[in-house]
Structure 1
Amino acid sequence: MRAVLWVMCMFLVMLNGVYFMQGKTDFSAPRHKQQSMILVDINTPGVQIKRPLLVFGFDDAPHGHAEITFDNVRVPVTNILLGEGRGFEIAQGRLGPGRLHHCMRLIGAAERGMNMMVERALSRTAFGKKIAQHGSFQSDLAKCRIELEQTRLLVLEAADQLDRHGNKKARGILAMAKVAAPNMALKVLDMAIQVHGAAGVSSDTALSHLWATARTLRLADGPDEVHLGTIAKLELQRARL
């Protein structure tokens, strides 16, 4: 193994003062062997946290996002996890279960939105009657419940296939769940915000933060478009068999 590695950072995670950094260490290697994952102590010379990054105006520090610079940062070669070129392997090992964790949290967020929406509709009067008595609300509420339960079952099926067949074989249904869950949660939370009126978009309720978090999860661990591509490719492969 080389004593010095030139790294182009791909992504970064911090845990207990240690960065888990993945970056390209060999541009000439096969596609999935170019990245390595390296441990970097936060106090290493050359590491600078320039500024926290707000997401839709929310500050999630210390667990949120930040702009970080690395200027001639040097760490021991032994800080490479598993070995040079195995960063993609490590990342893929956690992405399947990680995506499913996101889906589970989105189910919970949507369920919370449903509860808040119903409580508001039962307590708020508009145009002479409770919001819950308006036919348009009842129709939208029912549709939200249907979509939530459909997505819950999809996530449960993805979890079962992940347990029984592993990450690689379950990648299709994991991709389906990862697309369906945030889009469903956004729809439910948007409806809950609408029922709450101005309070829904303020910080007086949790709805705006829940919505912002759900929106980021259409990007985290792969954007919708990547997962849709995976689903489509698997369908086409089955058709060719």
Structure 2
Amino acid sequence: MDFAFDARTEELRAKLLAFMDDHVYPAEAVAEEQRAALASPWDTPAVVGELKAEARRQGLWNLFLPDAEYGAGLTNLQYAPLAEITGRSPHLAPTALNCAAPDTGNMEVLAQFADEAQRKQWLEPLLAGEIRSAFAMTEPEVASSDATNITTHIERDGDDYVITGRKWYISGAMNPDCKIFIVMGKTDPDGADIRRQQSMVLVPRDTPGVTVKRAMKVFGYEDHAHGGHAEVVFDHARVPVSNLIGEEGGGFAIAQARLGPGRIHHCMRLIGMAERAIELMCRRAVSRTAFGKELARQGVVHNWIADARVTVESLRLLVLKTAWLMDTVGNRGAHTEIQSIKIATPRAVVGIIDRAIQLHGAGGVSQDFPLADLYAGARTLMIADGPDEVHQRSLARRELMKYM
């Protein structure tokens, strides 16, 4: 692979770096101030709308979607360094560019598997940033690390599907702009093939029987900026059969297709989070004195910064290789690398942010710096999109098969 960025990537990187300096970083404090004055903490601060308008004006919009008909038409390799930059401000930058999860994965699903009517009704307003969405798969009653465990029922009743079940940690669902759920449940719970029992249906938020019950906290945070992580109950919620995405029994395959790009996008942004932590660590080290000399002259601090730099450079190369493979041989051909980065990146970035917190002392766990928030986000990604142990199991089995 060629490690140099092509001309289009360089152009977009320059624009995005300037956008971050001129608009995103200054808006971080503004967004917090505005949110405190909102009638509901789940409402969107006005500055977010201003950022979205400016990003769209500059052509920094829908960069994640490789389908040129709907998105920017970038390859994964072109998008990787851009997603990394947005990771430096994970609560604002991805949303400003209409590149925030779970909308990105949902738009990919709709672009790949939805019919024309579904794309017209839901994909187009999502692409325009007019609405938000949620992906309802995880359940509290079962080990959702194994997606075949889900118990939500999707039963056919004439020309309708009736959905009954309870989901939780449904990201974005507390945001009042979240208008549509992609719900995964079982249409054939007794089917012989456990990976053909599941289907996905589109369920509008205002469907009778749909209740967004509460926001689930993450390390004590309600995560207002991402629209929360809600518990959602579907109590005989009824939608037309035309709301089925793809075919009955295709839900598991659609979920796997959705999660592959999502995993690499998370890893791209995690590298940006690590870069922000290293920057904060260095600034703190040169501005603080302890025991008669600057922290920047303490040997242990040298070790932390050097180790962080080596780790980030290594992770970046692995992520870029994975992106290149996804572009050249497809997601299946990059399966080993996708799992590798999903295992390696969150845990390594958690370690870097942890050292940055340590260097900041009490400030590191306070609201005056973004480090505690970054830590919570990075640590959560050791669970989200499949916990580390699931990927380790699959990766090890693939390696062992070579010798069996």
Match of 2:212 among 45, 49, 53: 49
Partner SS state of residue 69, structure 1? strand
Partner SS state of residue 237, structure 2? coil
Cα-to-partner distance string for 1:23-62 (whole Å, 9 max, x where unaligned)? 1121122111111111111111111111111211222236
* C-alpha RMSD over aligned residues: 1.8
Match of 1:228 among 381, 392, 402: 392
Match of 1:163 among 324, 327, 337: 327
| CA distance in 1: counterparts of 2:205 and 2:223, whole angstroms | 19
Aligned residues: 240
CA offset at residue 19 of structure 1?
Answer: 0.8
Match of 1:60 among 220, 223, 228: 223
8 Å Cα contact 1:9-1:24 kept in structure 2: no
Partner SS state of residue 333, structure 2? coil
8 Å Cα contact 2:180-2:203 kept in structure 1: yes
Which residue is 1:182 aligned to?
A: 346
| CA distance in 2: counterparts of 1:9 and 1:37, whole angstroms | 15
CA offset at residue 10 of structure 1?
Answer: 6.4
Match of 1:28 among 183, 187, 190: 190
8 Å Cα contact 1:47-1:69 kept in structure 2: yes
8 Å Cα contact 1:113-1:207 kept in structure 2: yes
Residue range with higher mean Cα deviation, 25-34 or 118-127:
25-34
| CA distance in 1: counterparts of 2:228 and 2:265, whole angstroms | 17
| CA distance in 1: counterparts of 2:391 and 2:329, whole angstroms | 19
Cα-to-partner distance string for 1:103-142 (whole Å, 9 max, x where unaligned)? 0010000000000000000111011100010111101211
Which residue is 1:93 aligned to?
A: 257
CA offset at residue 63 of structure 1?
Answer: 2.2
| CA distance in 2: counterparts of 1:91 and 1:159, whole angstroms | 19
Counterpart amino acid of residue 240 in structure 2 = P
Relative distance call for 1:238 and 1:9 in structure 2 (3 A) is farther
| CA distance in 1: counterparts of 2:194 and 2:286, whole angstroms | 56
8 Å Cα contact 2:285-2:296 kept in structure 1: yes
Scaled by the length of structure 2, what TM-score is found? Answer: 0.57
Whether 2:296 is the aligned partner of 1:132: answer yes
Which residue is 2:287 aligned to?
A: 123
Partner SS state of residue 39, structure 1? strand
| CA distance in 2: counterparts of 1:9 and 1:229, whole angstroms | 28
8 Å Cα contact 1:10-1:23 kept in structure 2: no
Match of 1:40 among 162, 180, 203: 203
Which residue is 1:239 aligned to?
A: 403
Relative distance call for 1:10 and 1:233 in structure 2 (3 A) is farther
Which residue is 1:69 aligned to?
A: 233
Partner SS state of residue 67, structure 1? strand
Cα-to-partner distance string for 1:45-83 (whole Å, 9 max, x where unaligned)? 111111111211222236221111111211111111012
CA offset at residue 6 of structure 1?
Answer: 5.7
Query: Percent identity at matched positions?
Result: 47
CA offset at residue 9 of structure 1?
Answer: 5.8
Scaled by the length of structure 1, what TM-score is found? Answer: 0.94
8 Å Cα contact 1:55-1:212 kept in structure 2: yes
CA offset at residue 85 of structure 1?
Answer: 1.0
CA offset at residue 5 of structure 1?
Answer: 4.6
| CA distance in 1: counterparts of 2:264 and 2:380, whole angstroms | 15
Unaligned runs of 5+ in 1: none
Residue range with higher mean Cα deviation, 49-58 or 184-193:
49-58
